[in-house]
Amino acid sequence: MHPSIHGAATPDKAALIVAETGETISFAELDRRSNRAAQLFRARGLAIGDTVALFLDNIPEFYDITWGAQRSGLFYVCIPSKLTAPEVEYILRDSGAKLLIASAAQADVAEKLDLAGCTGLAIGGVAGWEDWAAAVAAMPDTPVADQRAGADMLYSSGTTGRPKGVRVALPEDPGIATPNVLATLAQVLYGLGPDTIYLSPAPLYHAAPLRWSMTAMRLGGTVVMMRHFTPETALAAIERYGVTASQWVPTHFVRMLKLDEAARRAHDLSTLKVAIHAAAPCPVPVKQAMIDWWGPVLFEYYAGSEGNGLTTINSAEWLAHPGSVGKAAYGALHICNEAGEELGPDEEGLIYFEGGGVFEYHNDPAKTAEARNALGWTTLGDIGRIDADGFLYLTDRKSFMIISGGVNIYPQEIENRLITHPRVADVAVIGGPDAEMGERVIAVVQPLDMAEAGPDLAAELTAWCRAELSGVKTPRQIDFTAELPRHATGKLYKRLLRDRYWGESGSRIV
């Protein structure tokens, strides 16, 4: 299916609602708007296989552009809205984008860009840039003559280094309405379809919100898009619009659970049947608390932008296998050691998928090769284990591992313990330089109240860790920060934290 089909069959049905304002765009209007976008791409010389880049916050035009690119055979690159000018320029050059569309919220950065051979169009005003609204208004709202299915080309979040573009071939079937794997999984696993009211609270430049919300539209459902996430606004949107399905990351759960009881109980959430979460590991106590609150509507999956495989788990399965991210639903799972040898049940190693989607890292054949083993299985660089029942458990990313005195320590377990402390809003655990042990465990904590930061809270958190963790895992140093460098999708930029410590040994963040 495709929004263009729904535009003809149910023209007045809402394809998109802006959660905060109620602004609504029908399927017929989305079809017209995406056709104008496709026509503009052709008028500006973009041919099948070319690349367009988006540097936007969550605005309705996001979907005009992505669906316009999807129906004109383009690769569309969604650039995180918080990047600096040099970071945006890197993605533009690396992706080979011929056109960049920026919104007014990104004007300060957009105006500093060296576009080189790339043309800039602005939604809402960027000094010296052509106006997007005027440009598309002059275009016909009929399909381009050479309509063909395009694809996204998304960049990794850069949490451990330079972001890399994940490039897949354009669909073999050029038909824009041809079903894809995600659409099939959304129907089979979660029951998404024309009756779905789908809440998307996260930035659309990230893989999951973009792909899943477009899938909901593809299936004829209505997407409720949040401009910005706040716990109260999200809960209110579920009640106001009768949301039936939604997509989250664990930090959303943590922030909602930190609300007082009255705020949590203020809204009717009874329409919500599916609450999908992914992107980062969810601490067991956090997920248990969400199931206790919302009921058995939580569904989790493990996957990456690479699309090389997928595991899924529902609430009942998770309660029987707490901490698991599920069984393979797309591709076959394997756990291998450093030598590439397959390991047995409950042995930890690199997670590989066999037979899933094929991908490459754009302009980086070495990284592409590193993600494959001799059998052609692919990995995202995550460590985990599979139990005797076939359920996968994540340990951490290989690149985040701390080696202290020859002992391998994975930060995730420590972070999961600390985030459950009632005075902690967020936390990151990293390895810092240590003359004797090589690395020492450092916890960088964002307190709920920064005024409480200090030795007393550090001592309380140390005792909190020691109650459940071994001595080697208990942080040797606890520092405080007003805000962690966290990606809007929930991923931590641990590279930035590590650089601070390894660049300035023993420095404290305040």
Could you give the domains of the chain?
A: 24-177 (3.40.50.12780), 401-503 (3.30.300.30)
Reported as a single tens digit per residue, the pLDDT across 281-325 is: 788 999 999 999 999 999 999 998 888 999 999 999 999 999 999
Side-chain-facing half-sphere of 93: CA atoms under 13 Å = 11
What's the whole-number average pLDDT of the chain? 91
Q: How confident is the model at residue 446 (pLDDT cuts 50, 70, 90)?
A: very high
**pLDDT of 118 over the 60 cut:** yes
- Say whether 482 sits in a helix, a strand or coil: coil
Q: How far is CA 443 from the centre of its chain?
A: 24
Q: How confident is the model at residue 406 (pLDDT cuts 50, 70, 90)?
A: low
- Higher pLDDT: 489 or 128? It is 128
What is the C-alpha separation between 107 and 124, in angstroms, rounded? 9
pLDDT for the residue 504: 52
51-55 β-sheet, strand order: 130-131, 119-123, 99-103, 51-55, 75-78, 151-152
In this predicted structure, which of 116-125, 131-140, 266-275 has the lowest mean pLDDT? Answer: 116-125
Contact 192, 198 (CB under 8 A): yes
What is the C-alpha separation between 42 and 62, in angstroms, rounded? 18
Contact 185, 310 (CB under 8 A): yes
**pLDDT of 413 over the 90 cut:** no
- Say whether 66 sits in a helix, a strand or coil: helix
| Residue whose tokens read 């263009």 | 4
Provide the token pair at 484.
Answer: 């962690």
pTM for this entry: 0.81
CA distances from 354 to 297, 331, 376, 510 (A): 29, 5, 7, 45
| Residue whose tokens read 């708007």 | 33
Name the DSSP letter for residue 148. B
pLDDT for the residue 306: 87
What is the C-alpha separation between 482 and 399, in angstroms, rounded? 25
In this predicted structure, which of 332-346, 360-374, 440-454 has the lowest mean pLDDT? Answer: 360-374
**Stretch 53-62: mean pLDDT:** 96
Side-chain-facing half-sphere of 415: CA atoms under 13 Å = 27
Reported as a single tens digit per residue, the pLDDT across 331-366 is: 999 999 888 889 999 999 999 999 988 888 888 888
- Higher pLDDT: 227 or 499? It is 227
As a whole-number percent, the residues of the chain with pLDDT over 70 amount to 96
Residues 6+ apart with CB under 8 A from 5: 177
Which span out of 82-96, 129-143, 148-162 was modeled with the highest average pLDDT? Answer: 129-143
**pLDDT of 161 over the 60 cut:** no
| 172 C-beta neighbours (distance < 10 Å), count | 7
What is the C-alpha separation between 426 and 446, in angstroms, rounded? 5
Contact 450, 484 (CB under 8 A): no
Reported as a single tens digit per residue, the pLDDT across 272-290 is: 999 999 877 788 999 999 9
pLDDT for the residue 489: 60
- Higher pLDDT: 151 or 340? It is 151
pLDDT for the residue 140: 97
Contact 441, 431 (CB under 8 A): yes
Long-range CB contacts (within 8 A, 24+) of 294-299: 294/269, 297/272, 297/273, 299/189, 299/190, 299/274, 299/275
Q: How confident is the model at residue 159 (pLDDT cuts 50, 70, 90)?
A: very low
Q: How confident is the model at residue 166 (pLDDT cuts 50, 70, 90)?
A: confident
